[in-house]
């Protein structure tokens, strides 16, 4: 159900694939451990998103990765990429970015034949027959040095580029290359100032469009649902609820930016989640369309009433019109009526 909802959004041109960790230290066979990660214990989820953090598909890691039916077997890590890209239309030439855990020449060939451009960092031991200079040799040539090798595999042209910054970075792509080269600012510890160094186009493209999942990971911990439970699946349930709320907020921000509304009217993530929670708690049956003469615009009357002075907060419109639990509240403290007029 969750995957069908996120897959229904029209996909962007630039897509990135990365892993996501749901923090969890309880007992579960799905729990993974990686001492090199900031979140060492937890559930691993592979995510397909765009540069803004919008998710289009995801897959929970269960310990076994099987080939996708009807598609070539490109090893375990590559099969995840093909699995995540299943809901994306073929032949539109979406650009897909991923890191060296997923990358291999077989994957790039399979993606190109299905109508995808792809780019990612790569481990040289996965590219057979490709000899690149060592980091020590490139360091002698100075920062900004780059080397490229081009080869053809199954009628698909692949480019391997190694660029030296503080250390060597190797990338593999079926569409990007060295040119056009640009300059980037880097800190020089010897000169104690920022200097310009040459940067290949393939590195600039990767750095620009690879961070969609990382952006989502930075939003999830801000107001995470934190409820203690002995059930292992509750942690995943809360995570998916947080993830869908952030998806809704990102879509709201995207649509809001297309309007002429003032920026101060934009709801931040916390207020958006509170508004959704308030509506869900009080939501009942929605009112149908009435026949006859249209009634007075209540929204305009509420705006006029708000100018007269502070009153109790007016409920959201979906709650006011749901015909549910609208009873008078008797109290000893004198207050102003919410109704207009």
Closest Cα partner for 111 from 47, 174, 44, 41?
174
Indicate the number of domains in the chain.
3
Q: Residue 289 falls within a domain, yes or no?
A: no
The pLDDT value recorded for residue 328 is 65
CB 287 within 8 A of CB 323: yes
The pLDDT value recorded for residue 196 is 87
Helices and strands (DSSP H and E) totals, the chain: 10, 11
Which residues are bridge partners to 23 per DSSP? 42
Domain housing 309: 295-341
Taking the CA atoms of residue 162, residue 164, residue 166 and residue 168 in that order, the dihedral angle to the nearest 10 degrees is 30
Examine the domain organization and report whether 239 and 194 are in the same domain: no
Give tens-digit pLDDT for 271-317: 999 988 888 887 665 445 556 555 556 666 666 766 666 666 666 77
Report d(CA 321, CA 313) in Å as an integer. Answer: 16
The pLDDT value recorded for residue 129 is 81
Taking the CA atoms of residue 106, residue 108, residue 112 and residue 117 in that order, the dihedral angle to the nearest 10 degrees is 170
Examine the domain organization and report whether 67 and 144 are in the same domain: yes
Q: Is the dihedral of CA 215, 220, 222, 223 positive or negative?
A: positive
Report d(CA 278, CA 258) in Å as an integer. Answer: 26
Q: Residue 290 falls within a domain, yes or no?
A: no
* C-alpha to C-alpha distances, 56 to 15, 48, 60, 247, 285, nearest whole angstrom: 9, 6, 14, 10, 31
Examine the domain organization and report whether 25 and 172 are in the same domain: yes
- In Å, the largest CA–CA distance within the chain is 84
CB 297 within 8 A of CB 259: no
Examine the domain organization and report whether 272 and 181 are in the same domain: no
Mean per-residue pLDDT, 18-47: 89
CB 32 within 8 A of CB 44: yes
Q: Is the pLDDT of residue 128 over 50?
A: yes
Examine the domain organization and report whether 315 and 233 are in the same domain: no
Examine the domain organization and report whether 164 and 234 are in the same domain: no
Token duo for residue 209: 């469009």
Q: Residue 287 falls within a domain, yes or no?
A: no
Examine the domain organization and report whether 112 and 191 are in the same domain: yes
Examine the domain organization and report whether 97 and 210 are in the same domain: yes
Examine the domain organization and report whether 277 and 315 are in the same domain: no
Report d(CA 259, CA 314) in Å as an integer. Answer: 24
The pLDDT value recorded for residue 336 is 62
Examine the domain organization and report whether 164 and 203 are in the same domain: yes
Examine the domain organization and report whether 210 and 319 are in the same domain: no
Number of residues in the chain? 341
Give tens-digit pLDDT for 53-73: 999 999 999 888 888 888 888
Q: Which of 172, 201, 218 is the last residue of a domain?
A: 218
DSSP state, 200?
-
């Amino acid at each position: 159900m969750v995957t069908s909802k996120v897959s229904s959004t029209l996909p962007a041109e630039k897509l990135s694939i990365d892993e996501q960790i749901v923090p969890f230290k309880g007992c579960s066979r799905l729990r993974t451990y990686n001492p090199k990660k900031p979140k060492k214990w937890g559930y691993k989820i592979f995510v397909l998103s765009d540069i803004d953090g919008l998710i289009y598909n995801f897959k929970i890691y269960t310990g076994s990765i099987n080939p996708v039916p009807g598609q070539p077997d490109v090893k375990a890590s590559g099969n995840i990429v093909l699995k995540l890209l299943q809901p994306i239309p073929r032949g539109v030439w979406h650009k897909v970015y991923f890191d060296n855990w997923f990358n291999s020449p077989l994957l790039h060939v399979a993606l190109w034949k299905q109508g995808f451009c792809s780019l990612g960092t790569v481990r040289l031991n996965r590219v057979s027959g490709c000899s690149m200079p060592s980091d020590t040799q490139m360091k002698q040539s100075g920062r900004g040095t780059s080397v490229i090798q081009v080869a053809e595999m199954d009628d698909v042209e692949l480019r391997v580029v190694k660029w030296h910054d503080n250390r060597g970075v190797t990338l593999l792509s079926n569409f990007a290359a060295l040119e056009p080269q640009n300059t980037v600012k880097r800190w020089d510890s010897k000169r104690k100032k920022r200097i310009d160094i040459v940067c290949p186009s393939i590195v600039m493209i990767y750095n620009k469009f690879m961070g969609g999942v990382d952006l989502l990971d930075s939003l999830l911990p801000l107001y995470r649902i934190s409820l203690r439970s002995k059930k292992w699946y509750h942690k995943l349930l809360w995570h998916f609820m947080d993830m869908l709320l952030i998806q809704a907020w990102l879509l709201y921000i995207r649509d809001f930016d297309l309007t002429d509304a003032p920026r101060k009217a934009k709801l931040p993530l916390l207020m958006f989640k509170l508004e959704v929670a308030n509506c869900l708690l009080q939501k009942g049956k929605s009112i149908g369309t009435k026949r006859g003469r249209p009634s007075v615009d209540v929204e305009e009357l509420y705006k006029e009433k708000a100018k007269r002075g502070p009153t109790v907060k007016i409920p959201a419109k979906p709650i006011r019109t749901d015909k549910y639990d609208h009873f008078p509240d008797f109290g000893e403290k004198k207050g102003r009526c919410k109704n207009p007029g």
